[in-house]
């Protein structure tokens, strides 16, 4: 292993609903709670809007991990969007396992907008998980190609 090679820093895309998880991430920042900068959120009205296509596209473009974070169960602002998202995530995890990509690179979480601590915990935990799993096996990052 070359000593120039940086430690692997995973890139993580988080699909969040604006009512809960996105607001929890905001509150974490407002409370100056630190979470790993690896996590980049995308704001959707509801996790029920998360299309499997989005997750696959994120992996295709190099995300090492993806998580979907919605409202607490039975507290979805659109009745049951978080359950719909959970069903899709669970299905896709199996597909990713079958593909040999690893279903563990995808996860579903639930939190309220006040649970900044939960968002921070999830961000840490998931980043560490992906760090252990290593880089996206189907993608060659430019930085990796460049750093010899």
CB of 110 to other proteins, least distance (A): 12
Give yes or no for residue 35 binding other proteins (CB under 8 A). yes
Q: CB neighbours (10 Å) of residue 4?
A: 7
Residue 134, both tokens: 């290593």
CB 94 within 8 A of CB 133: no
Of 69-77, 91-99, 101-109, 124-132: span binding other proteins (CB under 8 A)? 69-77
- 3-state SS, residue 82: helix
Binding mask 105-144 for other proteins (x = CB under 8 A): -------xxxxxx---------------------------
Give yes or no for residue 79 binding other proteins (CB under 8 A). yes
CB 71 within 8 A of CB 112: yes
Return all residues near 6 (Cβ < 8 A) that are at least 6 apart: 143, 147
Q: Give which of 107, 128, 139, 132 is closest to 16, Cα–Cα.
A: 107
CB of 137 to other proteins, least distance (A): 16
Which parts of this chain interact with other proteins (CB under 8 A)? Answer: 11, 13, 18-20, 22-23, 25-35, 37, 40-46, 48-51, 53-54, 57-58, 61-63, 74-75, 77-81, 84, 88, 112-117
């Amino acid at each position: 292993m070359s000593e120039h090679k940086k430690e692997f820093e995973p890139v993580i895309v988080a699909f969040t609903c604006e009512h809960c998880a996105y607001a929890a991430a905001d509150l974490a920042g407002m409370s100056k709670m630190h979470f790993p900068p690896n996590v980049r959120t995308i704001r959707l009205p509801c996790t029920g809007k998360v299309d499997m296509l989005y997750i696959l596209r994120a992996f295709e473009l190099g995300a090492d991990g993806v998580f979907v974070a919605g409202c607490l169960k039975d507290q979805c602002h659109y009745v049951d969007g978080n359950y719909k998202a959970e069903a899709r995530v669970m299905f896709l995890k199996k597909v990713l396992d079958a593909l040999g990509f690893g279903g563990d690179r995808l996860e579903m979480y639930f939190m309220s907008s006040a649970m900044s601590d939960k968002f921070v915990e999830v961000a840490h935990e998931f980043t560490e998980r992906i760090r252990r799993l290593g880089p996206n096996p189907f993608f060659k990052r430019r930085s990796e190609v460049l750093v010899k």
